[in-house]
Amino acid sequence: MNAALRMTYREACRQAIRDALIADPRTFVMGEDVGHYGGCYGVTKGLLEEFGADRIIDTPLAENGFTGIGIGAALAGLRPIVEIMTCNFSLLALDQIMNNAATLPHMTGGQFAVPLVIRMATGGGRQLAAQHSHSLEGWYAHIPGLKVAVPGTVEDARHMLAAALADPNPVLIFEHIVLYNAEGELDPGVQAVDLQHARVRRAGRDVSLLTYGNSLPKCLQAAAELAGEGIEAEVVDLRMLRPLDMDTVLASVGRTRRVVIVDEGWKSGSVSAEIAARLAEDALYELDAPVRRVCSREVPVPYALHLEEAALPSVPDIVAAVRSIVPAGS
């Protein structure tokens, strides 16, 4: 039996892209600094030398333009992987993503597919200030016609891309900037993941922590701390924000009867708000306590380290939220 491999989240993303380029000659990568520089976060380092400038394409600083080219390439039968340096900059391509990629299959009665993958960095925690640090994946999860993937583990970073490229619909993959340096084990027995189901990352009986992305390791750390107090928290990694796997969420809530949703987006109009509303609609009588949410403060993400740390969800915030709804001695 092969032993588990240990690698960084960054390397898992890179290997996923490399495998996709090897597997299908229709696949190419396009974005700002993806070639000679190796990607803003080093994910595409070395791919230009291996695959050449026809398949690793450096673009101008024009998100609307190169995202539109990616949509056209997908319509023509290619398999583009478009990298947008940070999700904040994706707003410059919002017209292309929302009014074209997400709608063309529907507006053509299914005659055209848009098998486009857009990768973008998301989240705060690296002192990159407000224009590079927000979590906008919840915005895109609002849009029918898109799939929104948020890999929070090395395994998902390694395998989600292949599933996204195989999908006839546009898929947005949000990679948290803090996770790129994170290390994890990659089970060689796992060769694929799906784009449909959440995963229970830690079983528990007293409260469900529902989360995704870089909030996953924070929730796991909080769960370990709470276990020392006799509180067993179940940690559910949503993984996909559209479609939301509410079956897994409802099953977890049925076991624990208490919920804390941890979402790095702003609380107003967030993924956490959507999940809380669905729980109120479909599981109100399963709950023994109010739903609690831990989100980013409703301010532009600050540059100063102490202010940035105060603005983002933290392990103490999660622990405090759990303590507020789980009776002592549970």
Spell out the domains of the chain, with CATH numbers in brackets: 5-186 (3.40.50.970), 199-323 (3.40.50.920)
Percent of the chain with pLDDT over 70: 99
Whether 329 shows a pLDDT value over 80: the answer reads no
Determine whether 286 is an active site residue.
no
For residue 319, the model assigns a pLDDT of: 98
Average pLDDT over residues 186-213: 95
Report the pLDDT averaged over residues 240-269. 98
197 is catalytic: no
- Give 198: exposed, middle or buried? Use CB within 10 Å, 0-12, 13-18, 19+: buried
Q: Which of 11, 32, 83, 132 is catalytic?
A: 132
Q: What is the Rg, in whole angstroms, of the alpha carbon atoms belonging to the chain? A: 20
Q: Is the pLDDT of residue 10 over 90?
A: yes
Average pLDDT, the chain: 96
Instruction: Kindly name the residue from 11, 32, 63, 137 that is annotated as catalytic.
Output: 63
Q: Which pTM value belongs to this model?
A: 0.96
What sign results for the dihedral spanned by CA atoms 32, 37, 42, 43? positive
Query: Which regions of 26-97 does DSSP assign to beta strands (E)?
Result: 27-31, 56-58, 79-84
